[in-house]
Structure 1
């Protein structure tokens, strides 16, 4: 019987050896015959099974001989493995080129979605196993040994659904092999996708692109750690149950875990360095005045008046375009000027469209003067959608057959109780004496004054924020009519001459966080400024904020020699809330935009645009900020919105190898 057993082992080795020889010959060729190789493998395995199926009791084979033949068998298998690996590399390089081509022609977002779906599936499987693990640990005294032993064997088995394999699959999404069709890691692919669709994809996620990468990595790292814990537990349990020693297996798993972790951290760190840290809001599903947006009202508004009232002499010798900067001097014979609210400020940029017209007046409570104007020549300004207050027929006239007294369409710049045109210029600080920092921003209107409100939270070690302390600080309650409140000091007043606001992204130096903001005047422009304070990352403590904090701004103007500001032009802008498409960013640093009237044809120039985005700009999970910005978002032919943005702190610089080489040794 023993001779027969030795013969069986020898035959198995011969069969395996013949397979190695044939595969080796094939592997040396430039052209690999995969079909022939597959046939050879099937035949070799079938021959081996025919021998093994002879009812032989291998337990009677002497251990030294069994160990020797086992060593030879593993040696041969090692050779086969090397050949198959070589073959695999060739297949990756040549055989799957068509598949790779098709895959890479898919849009990146499709490829990303496929991989994220797979990743979610793997993480779900891991969580299911981890919940079982937790239950087993909790109820160990009530469970059968067989149950625990079966679970432990499943965890460390070579089955495709084992925890061991799931960990490797998950890691492959971050650090795939450098060959074949999976050589683009999920983090790299996600970064590319975030760069391409940042505005569309992220402004509703309440996370900056860097935060998305960081939080995704955290989820993956935690999942791997759960798996590693279950594996080490399983090896210890199996050893406890006298199923083997498993010392080497446990050590190999630890080494592999450390290698995976360090590798993943380096990949994520490099991706985070290149990822944007800006966070802002998409347009809401529904625009609500006072909640999602605020307006500057009646800064420049369309206004119709006869030229006889536009000069002090009461003449009609000129034409409308001559009145580029004037005022209303009178109301000739109480004509149409008596039926409308008079412009008591500056009258600017008059034009002539036609002599006679029908004017649909607006509800005075709306802040508008007109709903629409229809000229006799057929031109309509605004939206003709019925006129609840009834139209008024307004006709120009001739004086002494020589002078035509025309009705002009002008712009009215009138300060007063109906015009909200003020920006707070007082600085707003987080309570840095209590170690609090700015974590969010939003525009609010209080007492007709626009404020940039801050959200603050207490800074903790390693860049964390105490969520229980996060709140929006109340804005100041002052009014422009209060005593000892001054224009140009406490607040900024917009006007025809001073209606520009600078658009910038401002970021602190490394080691600083945002602790305050304010607006100031530079020439005729309203300019944004941030207050930053140094801090210790490990302790989370602000460093002498009262003496080390500094203001940071961008003082460039449109007349600067280096990086002069350029203007964001609004062409024929309609009311922003009428846009059928969501807003997208239209500006960048070193630019500015002017508040202007809405389009004459679309809205009778009745609205001041752009609007101000009043939505909260805050992170899903509060984090310290290294900067903030003001930018414009919108669409062609619409006024858009002036919007705050926050720039989250750069955590990539603090990512280091979890298991440095010297610590491993």
Structure 2
């Protein structure tokens, strides 16, 4: 057997008990060429065949070649067969050694297992039982393989009787034998189509549950489709382990002169191919229906930290107390508060009253409202982005959350002028783009280095120099949708600021204000055979609108095709389009960090949201909402992305968060095995020869 063949077989025959995930990564690593050379001439092209399927084909071929070790000697006396036995054990020893050498690298890659599924989701009773049983069966297969490994790795001689007993029990037809364990796994996974016992399998039930649990799927670190695909990988590896153990058992029994086992070997191969074919067809069907969205759950409230888990626009529209006498050039009080609602300015500070005791609103003043004549104002610390902690009116109305006031309250009273005019203090909104207001969104692109075959593997919001940037993570693309983990890095936000030379508003960045504070919410998907390679914002009317860049790739080779011809795409829909863009309205929103439960997505693609002030009653309108979710949106297993989007997540009466989401690459079309798992021209060579 060639060293490449040995390594392929090694991956199958050396999974540590309970570590199904390790096997899945061994599988992916082997096929991508990271731990074994690529075959020079495959009779059937596998460039577009998914890794796990390709490996299954390779394993079958390798095992059939190993049968040659048993057939080399022919019908001679048993002592010679004992030498043949040693050759088989040597190959099995090489298998365990290869996995041991690769184990550290494999363990550094997180994979979804049945145990994680059980911990992360609240399943219906039937699915939970199925998963528990599946985990038990897979562990039994792994446990038997551990026994086999202990024999082949033993430095002391293992007696023939011991090996013969192990081989016989492996292929026996009792409840603990490998054939029946695999049959039970197949029934759990695929379900039964025969009446009256028709029932769905785990993959179908899991699809239903992940769709119903969209608000918690973010806790997996992968999309729903990845959940299904990774579980399939774990199951496939278990199938390969069981198949390999049975084939090796028959080889040993034949070497010990216990029979020919040609028919058994052939029948087992056909059963294995039938099972894997059915599972592949089922997987492809459920993957077509499974969501590929991945986003981040809110962290726990005590783990929220500005700059790390969230960002905020500051002082965009903020509650501001001003007397009407200061909002007109005539120094009069002949109007009322509601008159000053459309962008007036503070014209003067009459007699240095309360206007001299608070920071001036140097911008425009909107939406003024009369609450009561007299009030007590608790000012915020000078270092705070707030102006007031709370305001208590004489009539008992309180704006904000009344508590201890470190700076002390200030009594503010309206007054009468000439008995006819009441000079009222109004509660307004201040739109002041001063040095305390972070209200800028980067419009420069954030892209991967496509000329060096790098693609986008994640996104996140960051704030730099008071400007909020949406940046990407990049990694080098490998064959069959793999990513070189050692190349993962964030593309740093550019270091310019709004006062830098040759930096222009509307081109390099967008300034939010009362009239321009709308953000479009869209899900953008690349075309088939393309991957995500960049993001940026543009202005569509007065809407800030996201675009993505896509670049064509060759799935089999892992190479980007014509990277210099990458394409930018976005959604041009507006409120006036045939399919009208609709608004996500925030009703009296409170500060999102104070929500008693975690946010859930409450927007859809082709919507928009306006940044606004927090509720006057709950927060004295001191906070701009929604916030931005600043957590990295990177699937736990790096994967090519097929799209990206922005959405709003929150709870009723809270401001919520603008959050990025990514769309994982659709592996479904690649779940297509070759016409035959075994090259046709090699069929005669691969079958054990009759004697």
What is the CA–CA distance in structure 1 between the aligned matches of 2:340 and 2:353, rounded to whole Å? Answer: 20
Alignment correspondent of 2:304: 287
What's the counterpart of residue 18 of structure 1? none
1:413 aligns with 2:428: no
**Equivalent residue, structure 1, for 2:595:** 579
Offset at residue 182 of structure 1 (A): 6.2
Q: Quote the Cα distance in structure 2 between the aligned partners of 1:437 and 1:132.
A: 43
Say if 1:262 and 1:659, in contact at 8 Å, map to a contact too. no
What is the distance in 2 between the residues matched to 1:579 and 1:406? 35
Q: TM-score, normalised by structure 1?
A: 0.82
Q: CA deviation at 1:108?
A: 5.5
Q: Stretches of 4+ moved more than 6 A in 1?
A: none
Tell me how far apart the structure 2 counterparts of residues 154 and 517 of structure 1 sit (CA, whole Å).
58
Listed one character per residue, the Cα deviations across residues 418-442 of structure 1 (whole Å, up to 9, x for unaligned) are 0000011011110000000000000
The whole-number CA distance in structure 2 between the counterparts of 1:370 and 1:334 is 19
Map of 2:253 onto structure 1 = 238
| 1:629 paired to 2:648 | no
- CA deviations on 1:493-534 (whole Å, 9 max, x unpaired) are 000000000000000110100111100001111000000011
SS at match of 2:515: coil
Q: Does 1:211 align with 2:226?
A: yes
Contact 1:108/1:189, CA 8 A, preserved across alignment? no
- Structure 2 Cα separation of the partners of residues 400 and 181 of structure 1: 91
Provide structure 2 residue ranges, at least 5 long, that are not aligned to the other structure: 1-121, 684-691
Structure 1 unaligned segments of length 5 or more: list them: 1-106
Query: 1:153 offset after TM fit, Å?
Result: 1.3
- The correspondence of residues 150-549 of structure 1 with structure 2, limited to 5 A, is 150-179=165-194, 180=196, 183-200=199-216, 202-285=217-300, 286-325=303-342, 326-547=344-565, 549=566
Match of 1:565 in 2: 581
1:21-59 CA-partner distances (Å, limit 9, x unpaired): xxxxxxxxxxxxxxxxxxxxxxxxxxxxxxxxxxxxxxx
Question: Displacement of 1:447 after TM fit?
Answer: 0.4
Deviation at 1:650, TM superposition (A): 0.6
The answer for the alignment partner of 1:115 in structure 2 is 130
Distance 2:475 2:677 in 1: 38
Q: Aligned partners of 1:335, 1:110: CA distance in 2, in Å?
A: 68
Q: Deviations over 1:163-197 (max 9, x none)?
A: 11111111112212214556111000000001000
1:22 corresponds in structure 2 to none
Equivalenced residue count is 556
* Post-superposition offset of 1:663: 5.2
The 2-side partners of 1:176 and 1:250 are apart by 26
Tell me the residue number matched to 2:13.
none
* 1:632–1:643 Cα contact (<8 Å) kept: yes
How many Å separate the matches in 2 of 1:108 and 1:262?
27
Aligned-partner SS, 1:535: strand
Deviation digits for residues 620-664 of structure 1 (CA, Å, limit 9, x no counterpart): 110111110011000000000000000011110011135638957
Contact kept, 8 Å, 1:266 with 1:657, in 2: the verdict is no
d(CA) in 2 for partners of 1:439, 1:597? 34
Separation of aligned partners in 2, 1:586 and 1:331 = 44
Q: Secondary structure at the match of 1:281?
A: coil
Give the Å deviation of 1:141. Answer: 6.4
**How many Å apart are 1:140 and its aligned residue?**
8.0
Contact 2:273 2:677 in 1 (8 A): no
Distance in 2 between residues matched to 1:364 and 1:157, nearest whole Å: 80
- 2:151 & 2:672 partners in 1: Cα distance? 35
Query: Relative to total residues, which structure has the larger helix share, 1 or 2?
Result: 1
Q: Secondary structure in 2 aligned to 1:451? A: strand
Q: How far apart, in 2, do the equivalents of 1:564 and 1:370 lie?
A: 39
Q: Which residue of 2 aligns with 1:25?
A: none
Cα distance in 2 for partners of 1:539, 1:108 equals: 39
Over the aligned positions, Cα root-mean-square deviation in angstroms equals 1.4
- CA–CA distance in 2 between the matches of 1:552 and 1:137? 57
Contact 2:447–2:491 under 8 Å retained in 1: no
Q: How does 1:46-125 map to 2 (within 5 A)?
A: 109-125=124-140
TM-superposed deviation, 1:135: 2.4
Q: Deviations over 1:594-619 (max 9, x none)?
A: 10000000000000000000000001
1:514 alignment partner, SS class: strand
Separation of aligned partners in 1, 2:501 and 2:315: 25
Task: Measure, in 1, the Cα distance between the counterparts of 2:457 and 2:277.
Answer: 31
1:16 is matched with which residue? Answer: none
- 1:532-588 CA-to-partner distances (Å, cap 9, x unmatched) read 0111111111011112x111100111121x111100000010000000111000111
For 1:304 and 1:401, the matched residues in 2 are separated by 23
Larger Rg: 1
Whole-angstrom distance in 2 between the partners of 1:532 and 1:659: 32
> For residue 48 of structure 1, what is the aligned residue in structure 2?
none
Which of the numbers 568, 571, 580 marks the counterpart of 1:551? 568
